[in-house]
Amino acid sequence: MDGRHAIADARTNHRGNRAKRRSERNVRRRSTVADAYAANWDLVELPLDGGPIRDLLATVRIECCAVSVPGTTKFAYLTNRSGLPEIRVRDHVDHSERVGASTRDFRANSASARVDIGAVSRDGESLAFIEYSSDGYAIWITPIAGGMPVRLTRSREPRETAPSWSPDGKWISFLAKYGGAPTLMRVRVGGADEPAVILRGGADESTTWCCVPQWSPAGDWIAFASNRGIKLIRPDGTAQRVLSPLTKSR
Residues in CB range of 130: below 8 A, 6 or more apart: 115, 116, 118, 137, 138, 139, 140, 160, 161, 163
The model's confidence at residue 23, banded by pLDDT at 50, 70 and 90, is: very low
What pLDDT does residue 16 have? 40
The model's confidence at residue 173, banded by pLDDT at 50, 70 and 90, is: very high
Edge-first strand listing for the sheet containing 150-151: 114-120, 126-133, 136-143, 150-151
Between 224 and 250, the higher pLDDT residue: 224
Min mean pLDDT across 2-11, 166-175, 182-191 is at 2-11
| Residue 21 pLDDT > 50 | no
Evaluate whether 67 touches 76 at the Cβ level (below 8 Å): yes
Torsion angle in degrees (nearest 10) through CA of 71, 163, 161, 247: -100
Backbone angles phi, psi at 82, to 5 degrees: -85, -5
CB atoms near residue 112 (< 10 Å): 12
CATH class of 152-250: mainly beta
| Residue 33 pLDDT > 50 | yes
| Residue 13 pLDDT > 60 | no
What pLDDT does residue 155 have? 84
What pLDDT does residue 229 have? 84
pLDDT in tens, 65-110: 999 999 999 999 999 888 888 999 999 889 999 998 888 776 655 5
What pLDDT does residue 10 have? 32
pLDDT in tens, 110-132: 556 788 999 999 999 999 999 98
Residues in CB range of 3: below 8 A, 6 or more apart: none
Torsion angle in degrees (nearest 10) through CA of 171, 175, 178, 179: 140
Q: Is 103 helix (H, G, I), strand (E, B) or coil?
A: helix
Whole-angstrom Cα distance, residue 87 to residue 93?
Answer: 19
Backbone angles phi, psi at 143, to 5 degrees: -70, 135
Q: Span 147-163, mean pLDDT?
A: 89
Evaluate whether 213 touches 221 at the Cβ level (below 8 Å): no
pLDDT in tens, 200-235: 877 666 666 678 999 999 999 999 988 878 899 999
